[in-house]
Homo-oligomer: A and B are copies of this chain.
């Protein structure tokens, strides 16, 4: 439980994740100036003490720290580098923190632009979803120079529970990519394993119980395995988002000149899942695809 009494924080992107994060900053005593494309949420948050800004530039003019929580890399680029964007209006020595999931190569470009404008950049993507955001229980994986990370740390400690400084600028997004690779592949592993159990006539719920605690234990077996067994594919994390993350990870691996065969296969499987129209199901619906491909 950190306290941010009086610290001026700008917040751009008040959606599913950003809104509860901004609320937690307000509760910790920060003076938050915020902007969001859709205005309704801004008006809601005004009642809780948020000061509305008319655009990204106005946020940057008003705050020494600017947090960005945007849906994708293209939107982030527009908000950062566009006319009346954050960089054009940046205060001297300002701290810019990208907490969204952003491709690694553009992250390095954005950091350079912020640096050229006299500011500092930290990439700090999160995992834990909307529930983690609400409960201030996010895992935060941050990249940046140590001084910038230390300035950001009190904010991270308000927003999350598991705060890691993993390396220089870009290292946070690399870690998030790696996280998504493990999540996608582990969902694939549990999917095939449970389909095997079920086809062999063994109750997958009893198999899951028996495996928990041993070498096969994972958070995915625990949470997503249960969803598979219950046939409950309400998202959580959407298959569409998982597919995008695997695609970006595969692109990144390509850019680095390496080949990751299981990642490529998993991306292919998520592609097929989306072709079936299941993109808005939970990412654990990969189990349903593995069952479905068995049909003649």
Query: Which residues of A come within 8 Å of B, CB atoms?
Result: 104, 127-128, 139, 141, 143, 161-162, 164-167, 170-171, 174-175, 177-179, 181-183, 185-186, 188-190, 192-197, 199-203, 206-207, 209-211, 213-221, 223, 249, 252-253, 256-263, 265-266, 269, 290, 293-294
Contact = CB atoms under 8 A, between A and B. Distances in A.
Given A185-B188, A197-B175, A214-B179, A203 B166 contact: yes
Given A164-B209, A262-B188, A179 B252 contact: no
A199 B161 CA distance: 28
Contact of A219 (B170, B171, B217, B223): B217
Nearest to A261: B265
Copy number in the complex reads 2
A150 B22 CA distance: 56
A202 to B, nearest CB: 5
Given A166-B203, A220-B215, A258-B195, A182 B178 contact: no
Nearest to A290: B260
Contact of A216 (B186, B192, B214): B186
A139 to B, nearest CB: 4
A262 B260 contact: no
Nearest to A286: B262
Contacts of A290: 260
A171 B178 CA distance: 35
A282 to B, nearest CB: 12
Given A196-B181, A258-B199, A261-B265, A216 B219 contact: yes
Contacts of A177: 196
B263 A265 contact: no
Closest 10 CB pairs of A and B: A185-B189, A218-B218, A164-B210, A182-B216, A192-B260, A139-B214, A178-B193, A217-B219, A174-B200, A181-B193
Contacts of A223: 215
Given A127-B215, A218-B218, A219-B214, A263 B192 contact: yes
A161 to B, nearest CB: 8
A78 B249 CA distance: 50
9 contacts: A162-B213, A174-B196, A179-B215, A181-B189, A182-B221, A183-B216, A185-B188, A186-B216, A217-B219
